[in-house]
């Protein structure tokens, strides 16, 4: 069968400035779950099923094999594979969406990665994982973490926001089944929407009963490129105009999305976080500006887990996290951490690929991170984090940053 090939099914995401797992793998280019709030729906024309393209499992196996044989390379993907940097599987689409029943691309990929015991983080809403042969493979796969996404405990609301995904109870059962089979399973509460699901204590209680030990939380970002009909639908469901409300609250336009101020987000999630603290459940903030206030050095909560030691540490979020405990933020806190040497320009947006652009000399992840470090008050710089301000002092050619007076959350 001839299939449309997904060219960049494995790549490095533009979130590497803040993310501990910026190494992305996707089985399918588009997602037939079509959740109304999905950020990927407004990126790269990912609407519906008609333009579906597929990852090439054979190419993935060749890459993994090549990475293990050739230690010296200038290819950033091969460098990450050789080092066994964890793969986030399901960054732009659900790897176990309904079309997996027919095409089995993810099953083939799962078998390949298991053979090499490659560390992976699966993000999904699908109950295929607790069916055969998937469950048997997962049970024998030590370097594996599963993140099940839920947005609410209210199934009526779920049907409106994400009509094509398994019910709330079915996804709680996925967490329970995987946990009982010894598979490390977390929950992503995503997206957290103002006045809609931000006080969903019931969901936290249900997660705890299901065996979930760690929760990752991320707020909704309002896309400026959303189709008008989709925008009307989601506004009707939440009961207010999201874009208008975000602007009123001082949301900042970052890339193609409106992002709420950090202080607003902290107030919005305080009830569920306080409840998780009382239950001694771990929580992580996937909102870039709040990451350092969570229980983990890594946004996906994978630090201190055997098999995942090589998560990407040369990122600004980790410097802020370490600086939070030290009292000030210096580049030296991450300067010795590993990063691939190869160019990542092909994986970034079109502006970064233009030869005449002032960023043309920047090629590697370190190049881009150093540039942002010394460009305070710009997008992706340390000042993007809550309560962080630049200090005019420089050490070894890099700005230092401090936490503003007045304290931080928690």
Residue with more model confidence, 293 or 1:
293
What pLDDT, on a 0 to 100 scale, did the predictor assign at position 394? 86
pLDDT band at 350 (very low <50, low <70, confident <90, very high): low
Higher pLDDT: 327 or 48? It is 327
pLDDT for the residue numbered 407: 46
Total number of residues shown for the chain: 410
Mean pLDDT of the chain: 91
Please state which of the ranges 35-39, 105-109, 175-179, 257-261 shows the lowest mean pLDDT. Answer: 35-39
Q: State residue 43's pLDDT score.
A: 57
Class of CATH domain 10-293: alpha beta
> Looking at the predicted structure, is the pLDDT value of residue 289 above 90?
yes
**The pLDDT of residue 75:** 92
At residue 351 the predicted structure's pLDDT band, cuts being 50, 70 and 90, is low
Is residue 45's pLDDT more than 50?
no
Query: What pLDDT does residue 347 have?
Result: 86
Report the pLDDT value the prediction gives residue 310, as an integer from 0 to 100. Answer: 97
What pLDDT score was predicted for residue 80? Answer: 96
Mean pLDDT of 323-327: 90
CB 344 within 8 A of CB 78: no
Q: For residues 326 and 333, is the Cβ–Cβ distance under 8 A?
A: yes
Report the 3 state secondary structure along the chain.
CCCCECCCCEEECHHHHCCCCCEEECCECCCCCCCCCCHHHHCCCCCCCCCCCECCHHHHHHHHHHHHHCCCCCCHHHHHHHHCCCEEECCCCCCCCCCHHHHCHHHHHHHHHHHCCCCEEEEECCCHHHCCCHHHHHHCCCCEEEEEEECCCCHHHHHHHCCCCCCHHHHHHHHHHHHHCCCCEEEEEEEECCCCCCCCHHHHHHHHHHCCCEEEEEECCEECCCCHHHHHHHHHHHCCCHHHHHHHCCCEEECCEEECCHHHHHHHHHHHHHHHHHHCCEEEECCHHHHHHCCCCCCCCCCCCCCCCCCCCCCHHHHHHHHHHHCEECHHHCCCCCCCCCCCHHHCCHHHHCCCCCCCCCCCHHHHHHHHHCCCCCCCCHHHCCCEEEEEEEECCEEEEEECCCCCCC
Q: Provide the pLDDT for residue 1.
A: 57
Tell me, what's the pLDDT at 361?
82
Mean pLDDT of 139-143: 96
* HSE toward the beta carbon, residue 169, CA cutoff 13 A: 2
Distance CA 173, CA 137 (A): 18
Mind listing the pLDDT tens digit for each residue in 82-125?
A: 999 999 999 999 999 999 999 999 999 999 999 999 999 999 99
Sign of CA dihedral 63, 349, 308, 112: negative
pLDDT more than 70, % of the chain: 92
- Residue 2 pLDDT > 80: no
Burial of 208 (0-12, 13-18, 19+ CB in 10 A): middle
Span 34-45, average pLDDT = 74
The domain locations on the chain are 10-293, 323-403
Range in 33-42, 240-249, 382-391 the model is least confident about: 33-42
**Is the pLDDT score of 355 beyond 70?**
no
What's the confidence (pLDDT) of residue 114?
A: 97
In this prediction, residue 315 carries a pLDDT of 98
pLDDT in tens, 178-218: 999 999 999 999 999 999 999 999 999 999 999 998 999 99
């Amino acid at each position: 069968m001839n299939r449309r090939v997904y060219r960049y099914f494995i790549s490095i995401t533009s979130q590497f400035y803040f993310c501990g797992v910026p190494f992305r793998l996707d089985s399918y280019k588009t997602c037939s779950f079509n959740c109304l709030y999905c950020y990927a729906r407004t990126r790269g024309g990912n609407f519906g099923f008609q333009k579906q393209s597929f990852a090439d499992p054979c190419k993935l196996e060749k890459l993994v094999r090549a990475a293990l044989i050739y230690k010296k390379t200038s290819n950033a993907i091969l460098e990450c594979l050789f080092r066994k940097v964890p793969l986030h599987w399901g960054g732009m689409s659900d790897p176990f969406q309904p079309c997996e029943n027919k095409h089995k691309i993810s099953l083939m990929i799962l078998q390949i990665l298991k053979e090499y015991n490659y560390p992976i983080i699966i993000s999904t809403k699908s109950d295929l994982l607790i069916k055969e042969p998937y469950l048997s493979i997962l049970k024998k796969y030590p370097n594996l973490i599963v993140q099940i996404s839920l947005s609410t405990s209210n199934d009526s609301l779920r049907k409106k926001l994400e009509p094509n995904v398994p019910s709330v109870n079915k996804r709680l059962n996925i967490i329970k089944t995987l946990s009982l089979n010894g598979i490390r399973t977390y929950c992503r509460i995503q997206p957290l929407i103002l006045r809609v699901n931000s006080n969903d204590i019931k969901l936290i209680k249900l997660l705890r009963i299901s065996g979930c030990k760690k929760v990752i939380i991320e707020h909704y970002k309002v896309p400026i490129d959303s189709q008008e009909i989709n925008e009307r639908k989601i506004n009707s469901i939440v009961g207010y105009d999201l874009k208008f409300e975000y602007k009123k609250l001082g949301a900042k336009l970052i890339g193609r999305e409106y992002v709420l101020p950090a202080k607003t987000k902290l107030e919005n999630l305080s009830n569920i976080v306080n409840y998780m603290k009382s239950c001694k459940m771990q929580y992580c903030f996937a909102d870039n500006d709040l990451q350092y206030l969570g229980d983990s050095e890594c946004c996906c909560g994978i630090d201190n887990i055997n098999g995942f030691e090589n998560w990407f540490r040369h990122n600004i979020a980790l410097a802020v996290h370490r600086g939070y405990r030290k009292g000030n933020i210096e580049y030296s806190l991450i300067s010795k951490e590993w990063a691939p040497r190869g160019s990542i320009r092909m994986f970034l947006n079109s502006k970064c690929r233009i030869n005449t652009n002032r960023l043309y000399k920047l090629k590697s992840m370190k190049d881009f991170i150093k540039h942002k470090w010394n460009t305070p008050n710009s997008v992706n710089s340390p000042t993007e984090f809550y309560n962080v301000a630049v200090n005019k002092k420089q050490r070894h050619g890099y700005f230092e940053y401090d936490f503003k007076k007045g304290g931080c959350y928690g």
